[in-house]
Each structure stands twice: as C-alpha cells, then as structure tokens.
Amino acid sequence: MILDIARLLLFPALMAFAAATDLFTMTISNRVSLALGGGFLTLALMSGMGSYDILAHLGAGAAVLVLAFGCFAMGWVGGGDAKIAAGAALWFGFGHLLDYLVYASLFGGALTLLLLQFRQWPLPYALARQSWLMKLHAKDSGIPYGIALAIGALIVYPDTEWIKAIDVAHFAFG
C-alpha cells in the first residue's frame, strides 16, 4: 500500500511543487530535480522494474537533458526547467516521452502567449505590491516554463505504468 501511495503522489507532488516555485520565484530548486531522480530510482527498484527498463528510462532522461540544455544554451529555457524536463522524462521513459514533450510544448506556447499579453497591460494598484507578480509582469523577465512542464507531466502521468500498477481495489475496499 505504501508503494501505491508513493506511485500515486510522489511524482505529481514534485511536479506541482516545481510549477508553484517557478511561478512565485522564477526558479526551480535543484533539490526538486534530485528528488525526481531519487524517487524514480527508489520506486523502480521497489516495484521490481527490470534493468533494461531502468536503463531505457535513464536513456530517455539523458536524451531530454541533452536537448533541454541545448535549449538552455540558446536562452530559450532556464536551467531549472531543463533539469525538471529531464527528471520527468526519466519517469516516462521512451514510451510516454513524445506525449509529454508535445503537451509541454503546447502548454508552454500557450503560457508564453498569455504572459506576453499579460505584460502589455498595467497591473492594478492592489496587485502591483506583490513582488512575485511584479517579477512575472516585467517585460524583461523570462517565462516560468516549469508550469507548462508540470501540466504536461500531470496530463500524461495517469496513462503510465506507475498508475496502472496501483492496486485500486485495495484503496476502494481497504
């Protein structure tokens, strides 16, 4: 049962935390990326995932890390965003990676367009005192892409083996 609770909550909680901290601080702590990696390895081993599958998931994470750091080098995403994308890819493996990348890209594009529009309007006085909102509103500020990465991840996660392996009957009839 503890393994099922971890499968159900760990990844979504870490992704939601990454999105929230990116929204409010425009940074994502390395601890979140490390927790994603450590959580994956722990759950993979506890779940009995085979060596080949673990290596495939590591390969997916490494591939996204290389791609995302290329985007970071071009100034398109932040370093925290690159690490979170790789951490999510680690959990998805190649089986769900394309779905994740498509959703994250679509939500990232929508988020970017919304923020660019939002930055064209003056903030109401009552909101202008919120430092996080001022930073988000600043035209020279980046896009908190961790939000899009988290939304994409949370859409794809229910279709993964992590969730399909949960013993729902145990929760329902306890």
Which is it for the CA torsion 138, 144, 145, 147, positive or negative?
A: negative
| Residue 174 placed within a domain | no
Measured distance CA(91)–CA(39) in Å, rounded: 9
Residues 97, 99, 102, CA angle at the centre, nearest 5°?
105
Question: Can you say whether the dihedral through the CA atoms of 78, 84, 86, 88 is positive or negative?
Answer: negative
Domain-located, residue 25: yes
Q: Is the residue at 21 inside a domain? A: yes
| pLDDT digits 0-9 by tens, 59-116 | 999 999 999 999 999 998 999 999 999 999 999 999 999 999 999 999 999 999 999 9
| Residue 89, domain member (yes or no) | yes
Domain span at residue 43?
2-169
For the entire predicted model, the pTM comes to: 0.92
Angstrom distance (rounded) from CA 174 to CA 172: 6
Mean pLDDT over the full length of the chain? 94
Total of domains in the chain: 1
